[in-house]
Structure 1
């Protein structure tokens, strides 16, 4: 089982170049583990970038089409990564700690220095289930963003172009 949930916080003060609805709660569940937070109250201190989480998951799914290893950085936490290791049609997902060296990005395809499986490890799902959930939840997110923003917003168009690449 793999499920993504999110709740958008509207940002009425967003300037024209920003995207309204980028932040809020983001959570995913895999097997018996949950990562992130999703509560009824809107508490800014607990909000994260839904936009970037979905963007990074789309990029990871795209990379896993041709490669076997991806790390997604939790940009809100200094040493936390979500590790995805593809073996044939299955993906093992783990929450790991590792240094984030100078110049490392939010998405990496090589193991980071001092990587430790300190939390949950090797939660297994099929690549197709991962791909389908990421694409479907991103499409849902885009629909909600289009209500709050101009449909031609560059960030919305970027997510749509990533979906096209993933679905090829």
Structure 2
């Protein structure tokens, strides 16, 4: 049972003072020999995604899974792709699914989408603790890299910096 997150930040020298440098790049996760996302040596903008939002959504999913058993994370770059997380006791089953994104649906949902299809990989298992450890550790690493690339008072880093509070909530 392995879950691994990889990311590569694309630096952007032309960001405005209060914009976040390092928000985008490659984001990939691997579970049980299945991967989602692209991670290649070259920096090709067309393949870049928001690392910031992927980590934020995984953190939010962890908080939800403390009290609920079902979370969907929308791939905001793809029209019908979701990452499904189902918790049973201390095991989280992760699947890549296809489903419509109804009007008004958000990036995180706690109810199954209509016409949900498991046409990709399904029920890849990881312990909640291992999932939490990987997401928390990679988020901490990402925050450190953002601090190097940006002004410390950047509102987005400050927002993500509240992560320590979230981390305490996740661990409690």
Question: Shorter chain as normaliser: what TM range?
Answer: over 0.9
Distance 1:132 1:167 in 2: 13
- Give runs of aligned pairs for residues 1-168 of structure 1, distance below 5 A: 1-168=2-169
**How far apart, in 2, do the equivalents of 1:62 and 1:158 lie?**
16
Shift of 1:163: 4.2
> What is the Cα deviation at residue 167 of structure 1?
2.8
Deviations 1:7-48 (A, max 9, x none): 000011111231000000000000110000111100001100
Secondary structure in structure 2 of the residue aligned to 1:16: coil
What number of residue pairs does the alignment pair up?
168
SS at match of 1:93: strand
Shift of 1:159: 1.9
CA RMSD of aligned residues (A): 1.0
What TM-score do you get using the length of structure 2 for normalisation?
A: 0.95
**Structure 1: any 5+ residue segments left out of the alignment?**
none
Matches of 1:139 and 1:88, distance apart in 2? 26
Q: Which runs of 4+ in 1 moved over 3 A?
A: none
- Residue by residue, what CA displacement relative to the aligned partner does 1:113-158 show, whole Å, maximum 9, x if unpaired? 1110010000000001111100000000000000111223221122
